[in-house]
Structure 1
Amino acid sequence: MSVSIAETSTPALPISPTPRQRHVQCISPSGLHSIAYTEWGDPANPRVLLCVHGLTRSGRDFDEVAKALGREYRVVCPDVVGRGLSDWLVDPRAYAVPQYVSDMITLIARLNVETVDWFGTSMGGLIGLGLAGLPNSPIRKLLLNDIGPHIEPIALERIASYLGKPASFATLQEGVDNAAELAASFGPLTADEWRAINTPLLKEREGRWGYRYDPNVAVPFSAANPEASSLGEAMLWRALAAIQHPVLVVRGEQSDLLSRETVQKMVAGGQAVSSVEIAGVGHAPAFLAPSQIEIARRFFLDTTAGNG
């Protein structure tokens, strides 16, 4: 099933909880590292929504989603290792889906729940896809925000043009504006919205502002070769085909990363995959607009899909 929607003025259902900043210790082959996460809603709520961000972003991208769904869910938004307030890895070669999946399993164990729903944007969707395709996965529902097993080469070229490159700004606002330029395809956001989601990406060092993420996340990205990429894509297609629980693929109408053809293949090849296309945005829909948040609300809270 596939539908297309345009922006509407559907009202959000916000709450204003105070987020809790927490950490969990994880492990890689080179040692221990700390993962930061922001938690919203009732800490005793066994119903957890895990929201995982894109390649150079942070868990604070999901503040508005968390406010809107925090009545029904304990919403948990991690900073993937190497990003935000999380530690950097000693060996940058581990910046890849297997390590990220391992960290998320540790986080889920810390949350002390049997199942989670998963909202993954771009890289966060790949992590969710990798985990959801495993036997006995804890993921109950999976929203993939503008990502799939196949990534268009033009998007990889765009990402390579800035990933890990030195960037220094005289003021916080210059950094916010630069991050907004890199993420312009998120959609027509207001200055306040850009400031809210981009400020957590930046840190002051010796009177200058720069990005928090480890520039070495670019190491495995730049080292990828066609054979490894093809193998990784095949594994992700197999993971998608194995998922029995509901999957929603959200595509930005102007996305250069996720093509309509890939979405159609995902819907046809999955067991319970549906799709939505959001007009007027590219990679990846920011999910700040009430109408976009309502897409997530309907998907995750629909009890008629067989797993509510």
Structure 2
Amino acid sequence: MEYRLHSYRSACGRLDLSAREYPAREAGAPVLLLMHGLTRNAADFEPLAAHLAGRYRLLVPDQRGRGLSEWDSDPSQYRPDVYAQDMLALLDSLGIARVCLIGTSMGGLMAMVMNALRPDLASGFVFNDIGPVLDPAGLARIQGYVGPGATMPTWQAAAARCRAINAAAFPDFGDAEWLAFARRTCRENADGTVSFAYDPAIAKSIDGDAPQTVPADLWPLWDLLDAAPVLVVRGALSDLLSVETVREMAARHSGAFAAVEVPRVGHAPLLDELPALGAISAFLREHIPSSRT
């Protein structure tokens, strides 16, 4: 898949940020904005982009402090409301006024904030293993591994580290899948060692009993979605998004709502799993049609 890198300034004007742009085959195709989770980057959506690129114009940013985007010297700015403003700056830099928002974990929180800031922006929402209530068990697990870590000597060592952190979420992964996971999650340093592709200071935003990364009460943001088309993808083994929360999301939503569960996957699905991909394709065909869907 070919993409170009689009550079733009953060909403605060201090940082240089980066986004991948996968072009559509036809002019005027719908735009999908794909937003990654806390410790991930634009590469996290490569599996899904392989299926959607060409039919849609895909924007896949690295949030500040991740991937190719500049790190913030002020760690207090690593939080969803700031990222959401950055996403609006990205869209404005490209003259885009209408998008479908696809958010994994933290990216889903950002989608809710963006809707509150600009209610006419989104034509639809796909929430990947995230909702208005975050299970304390999953939040504690994430708090346990985010932060400073030693560099890894090889890509094989990086794959082993990714397995150690995420094995419960992907019990069927083999060596090849873990190496591919590491390649999307980490970066190679000048000396050949490997590090996770994020600023360790993002850990400060998720520390404590009331982390900045998670707004105190998200239900009011969820309720603002109201009649917008929504798809929720949940990993059947998820420790962050419960079945009960998905049911409450559906009960409080007056518009088109669909939910799908991905078997034998935890937090968070890669979105190329057959149940997830089938549900996303059907959702886009119905609510975000392109000429080639």
For normalisation by structure 1, the TM-score amounts to 0.85
Matched, 1:183 2:171: no
Give the superposition deviation at 1:86: 0.8
Alignment of 1:228-239 (within 5 A): 232-234=215-217, 236-239=218-221
The structure-2 alpha-carbon separation of the partners of 1:38 and 1:91, relative to structure 1 and needing over 3 Å to count, comes to: same
Matched, 1:158 2:141: yes
Give the superposition deviation at 1:60: 1.1
Structure 1 partner of 2:273:
289
Q: Distance in 1 between matches of 2:267 and 2:66?
A: 19
Matched, 1:202 2:184: no
Cα deviation digits, residues 156-212 of structure 1 (max 9, x gap):
111111110323211122112312332330453344443334214223254432112
Amino acid at match of 2:16: S
The answer to whether the 8 A contact 2:262-2:273 is kept is no
Q: How many residues align?
A: 285
Give the superposition deviation at 1:22: 2.2
- Helix, strand or coil for the counterpart of 2:206? helix
Matched, 1:60 2:52: no
Structure 1 partner of 2:82:
99
- Helix, strand or coil for the counterpart of 1:37? strand
Structure 1 partner of 2:20:
38
Alignment of 1:1-308 (within 5 A): 17-28=1-12, 32-42=14-24, 44-184=27-167, 185-186=169-170, 188-200=172-184, 201-225=186-210, 232-234=215-217, 236-243=218-225, 244-272=227-255, 273-303=257-287
Q: Distance in 2 between matches of 1:198 and 1:100?
A: 24
The structure-2 alpha-carbon separation of the partners of 1:159 and 1:205, relative to structure 1 and needing over 3 Å to count, comes to: farther
Structure 2 gaps of 5+ residues are: none
The structure-2 alpha-carbon separation of the partners of 1:79 and 1:279, relative to structure 1 and needing over 3 Å to count, comes to: same
The structure-2 alpha-carbon separation of the partners of 1:196 and 1:41, relative to structure 1 and needing over 3 Å to count, comes to: farther
The structure-2 alpha-carbon separation of the partners of 1:229 and 1:67, relative to structure 1 and needing over 3 Å to count, comes to: closer
Amino acid at match of 1:116: V
The structure-2 alpha-carbon separation of the partners of 1:191 and 1:21, relative to structure 1 and needing over 3 Å to count, comes to: farther
Percentage of matched positions with identical amino acids: 33
Give the superposition deviation at 1:73: 0.6
Give the superposition deviation at 1:53: 0.9
For normalisation by structure 2, the TM-score amounts to 0.89
Amino acid at match of 1:177: A
Structure 1 gaps of 5+ residues are: 1-16
- Helix, strand or coil for the counterpart of 2:11? strand
Q: Distance in 2 between matches of 1:181 and 1:140?
A: 38
Give the superposition deviation at 1:37: 1.2
The answer to whether the 8 A contact 1:60-1:197 is kept is no
Give the superposition deviation at 1:281: 1.1
Amino acid at match of 1:108: L
| CA-based RMSD | 2.4
- Helix, strand or coil for the counterpart of 1:199? helix
